[in-house]
Chains A and B, each alone.
Chain A
C-alpha cells in the first residue's frame, strides 16, 4: 500500500481498523450451556449434495441395511464429496426432501430408518497419519467426506491438495465465529481442544506448511484459554486472539487481520502461501484419521429468542430441524427460522428440512430480534458504505439493480460482494440490500448460462450447416460418381459392343478367311 493510500485511509476512517460492524453477539447463555446430544430420530434424510460441487452418486439400494459410517453415495467429478450413513438402519427411500435453502426447492436425499443400535461399521484400525505420505492423508480425508465446516462446505481434501501444490507456509485456522448467536465452534474449541490441535497437526502434515495460527475472536476467552493450553506442547501452533468484529470469520478478513496483507481480488490466500481452514474441519480431520470415522455428525447451535433451552447439540447429519426443535422446545412460534447465523444464514421454508454438514446453527428468532421493518427510500446516509468490509457502494449498487441495470452494478464491484449483510444490518431505511445483490448475482449467473447455451447452439448450428453441406457434397459426389460410372458403363458397353461387333466382324472375317484358307 502506497503512502497516498495510507493518507487516504487515515482521512477516511481515522487510525486503526474500520471495516465491518459490531452486532450484539448474543452468544451467551447458549455458548456456556454444556454440549448435549440429540436423541436419535426415527428417520434420517441425508441429502446427496451437502457440499459445493456435483452431487454424490448413491451406491446403496432401497431396502439395504447399512451401518453407521457406511458409504451411501460416492463423490462424482472433480469437486464433490462422499456421503456416509449417519446411523445404522435400513434404507427406506432414495427420493427428495426440501433443501435447507430459502427457495424451498427439493434436493435428492437418502432416507435411513434407524434401527436404534447406532452401530458403527467395522473398520481397520487407524494408522498413524504421520507415517503416511501427505497425498495419502488427503485421500483419507476425502474418503471420510470431510468438507469445510465454516459454511462454504468446500471439500477439504481438495483444499489441502491445493495448499500442497501452492507450497503454502502457514495454515490459518478460522475460529473467528463472528456471526452473532452461533457458538458451535466456541463449544468445540472448549470441549475438544486436544482433538482440534491433533487435527491441525495432521493438516500441517498433509499440506507441508511449517506453522499454524488459530485466529479466535476475543469474545471467546474460554476457547482461547483451552486452545492455548492444548497448543502449548507444539511450537508450530499458536493461538492468535483477534478483535471481535463482524465479518472477522470471512476467510480474507481473518487472513488480513493475522498477516496484515490483502488477498488480490482475483487471487486466493494460497497465492500468498496461506491456507485457511475452519477449526471444525480440523476436528473432523482428527476423527477421520485417528478413529476412521467419516463426517456423519456435527455440533449445531440452537439459539434465538423463541427457543426455551438454547445451547449446542451434537446432531447426526440428516436429522430434521423439526426433531432438533422438538428436543430444545420452542417458547413461541418464531418469526424467522434460520439455518446458520443471523447475518448470512438462510431462511428455512419450514421445519421439515434436514441438518447438513454445513449447518452451524438453527436459530428461531422472534419478531423483535429480526427487527424487520418495511423498507423506506434510501436517504444516502452512506452507513452501508462505511460498514462494507470490502469497500463497495451498496446504495449505488442496489439503485442500479432496482433500475434493472445489472451491468452498472457489476461495474461498481458487485462481483466482489461477499454477501456478509453488514450493509443491510446498518441501513436505517431497512432496504434489503443483500436481497438485491442475491437477485443480481443469480440473474447474472442465469444470463451466463443462457450465453453458454447460445454458444452451444451456435456450435450445433454450425455443425448442422457443415453436415448439410457435407451431405449435399457427398450426394453431389455420389451423383457425379454414379454419372461417371454410368458413363463409364455406357462407354464400356459401347466399347464392348463395338469390340463385339469388331470381333464379330473379325470372326466373320476369320471364319471367312478360315473358310478361305
Chain B
C-alpha cells in the first residue's frame, strides 16, 4: 500500500507529466480557460490514460511480446487509444452536451495527446507489473488533471488582469506555465522515506 502511495506521489507530483516531462501541452494550453472544462478534460484524459494503460499492458504482455511484434507497438497503441477516445467522446456527448461543446476539438484530440501515448510507452518500458502500471498511469493522469485545474484557476484570474497587449493570450499562458514548472521543481528529488 505504502509503495503505491509513493508511486502515486512520484508520478503525480515529482515527475509531473506536464510540468516536468512536458507532455500533453496541447490540451494544457487549449482547455485551461475555465475550471469547469478543465475538470471535464482532466477526467476524460484520466479515464483514457488509465484505460489505455491497462489495454496496452495487456497487448504488450500477451500479444506483442509473445509474437515478437515489438515494431507494431506504436501502431497498436494508437489504435487502442483512438478507440478509447471515440468511446469517451460518445459518452460525453450523450451525458453532457455543454461539456462536449466546451471541450470542442480538444476532445477527439485526446487521441493525439502525447501524454496518453507517452505514459503508455513509458509504462511498457518499465516492464512493471499490471497493478504497478495501472497505478503509475493513474498517478500520471491525476497529476495531469491537478495541474490542468491549477492552471485553469490561474488563467481565470489572468483573464481579468491587465496583461500588456504583446503578451495577452497564449504568450502569457506559456510564461505562466513556465513559472508553474519552476514551482513544481520544488518537488524534484522528493523521496518519501
Interface segment out of the listed A8-16, A360-368, A381-389, A397-405: A397-405
A residues near B (Cβ < 8 Å) are 377, 399-400, 402-403, 405
7 nearest CB pairs, A to B: A399-B160, A403-B160, A400-B160, A403-B159, A377-B162, A402-B160, A405-B160
* Residues of chain B contacted by A377 (CB below 8 angstroms): 162
A85–B160 CA distance with the chains assembled, in angstroms: 53
In the complex, chain B residues 137-190 whose Cβ is within 8 Å of any chain A Cβ: 159-160, 162
A402–B162 CA distance with the chains assembled, in angstroms: 10
A400–B159 CA distance with the chains assembled, in angstroms: 9
B residues near A (Cβ < 8 Å) are 159-160, 162
A405–B159 CA distance with the chains assembled, in angstroms: 11
CB distance from A406 to the nearest CB of B (A): 13
A399–B160 CA distance with the chains assembled, in angstroms: 6
* Residues of chain A contacted by B159 (CB below 8 angstroms): 403
CB distance from A179 to the nearest CB of B (A): 32
A-B contact count (CB 8 A): 7
* Residues of chain B contacted by A402 (CB below 8 angstroms): 160
> Chain B: which residue is nearest A398 at the CB level?
B160
CB distance from B145 to the nearest CB of A (A): 24
CB distance from B165 to the nearest CB of A (A): 15
**7 chain-A/chain-B pairs, Cβ below 8 angstroms:** A377-B162, A399-B160, A400-B160, A402-B160, A403-B159, A403-B160, A405-B160
CB distance from B158 to the nearest CB of A (A): 11
A174–B160 CA distance with the chains assembled, in angstroms: 40
> Chain A: which residue is nearest B157 at the CB level?
A399
A405–B33 CA distance with the chains assembled, in angstroms: 15
* Residues of chain A contacted by B162 (CB below 8 angstroms): 377
A403–B159 CA distance with the chains assembled, in angstroms: 8
CB distance from B153 to the nearest CB of A (A): 13
CB distance from A403 to the nearest CB of B (A): 5
* Residues of chain A contacted by B160 (CB below 8 angstroms): 399-400, 402-403, 405
CB distance from A383 to the nearest CB of B (A): 19
> Chain B: which residue is nearest A377 at the CB level?
B162
CB distance from A409 to the nearest CB of B (A): 11
A56–B58 CA distance with the chains assembled, in angstroms: 83
CB distance from A510 to the nearest CB of B (A): 88
* Residues of chain B contacted by A403 (CB below 8 angstroms): 159-160
A402–B160 CA distance with the chains assembled, in angstroms: 8
> Chain A: which residue is nearest B160 at the CB level?
A399
A400–B161 CA distance with the chains assembled, in angstroms: 10
A399–B159 CA distance with the chains assembled, in angstroms: 10
A404–B88 CA distance with the chains assembled, in angstroms: 35
* Residues of chain B contacted by A405 (CB below 8 angstroms): 160
* Residues of chain B contacted by A400 (CB below 8 angstroms): 160
CB distance from A396 to the nearest CB of B (A): 8
CB distance from B21 to the nearest CB of A (A): 33
CB distance from B88 to the nearest CB of A (A): 30
CB distance from B34 to the nearest CB of A (A): 11
CB distance from A162 to the nearest CB of B (A): 41
CB distance from B157 to the nearest CB of A (A): 9
> Chain A: which residue is nearest B162 at the CB level?
A377
> Chain A: which residue is nearest B159 at the CB level?
A403
A13–B61 CA distance with the chains assembled, in angstroms: 60
* Residues of chain B contacted by A399 (CB below 8 angstroms): 160
CB distance from B147 to the nearest CB of A (A): 23
Most B-side CB within 10 Å, residue of A377, A399, A400, A405: A399
CB distance from A468 to the nearest CB of B (A): 36
CB distance from A422 to the nearest CB of B (A): 22
A402–B161 CA distance with the chains assembled, in angstroms: 10
A403–B162 CA distance with the chains assembled, in angstroms: 9
CB distance from B46 to the nearest CB of A (A): 28
> Chain B: which residue is nearest A402 at the CB level?
B160
A403–B161 CA distance with the chains assembled, in angstroms: 9
CB distance from B186 to the nearest CB of A (A): 23
> Chain A: which residue is nearest B161 at the CB level?
A399
CB distance from A408 to the nearest CB of B (A): 9
A377–B162 CA distance with the chains assembled, in angstroms: 9
> Chain B: which residue is nearest A400 at the CB level?
B160
A442–B158 CA distance with the chains assembled, in angstroms: 26
CB distance from B10 to the nearest CB of A (A): 35
A399–B162 CA distance with the chains assembled, in angstroms: 10
CB distance from A436 to the nearest CB of B (A): 13
A377–B161 CA distance with the chains assembled, in angstroms: 10
A403–B156 CA distance with the chains assembled, in angstroms: 12
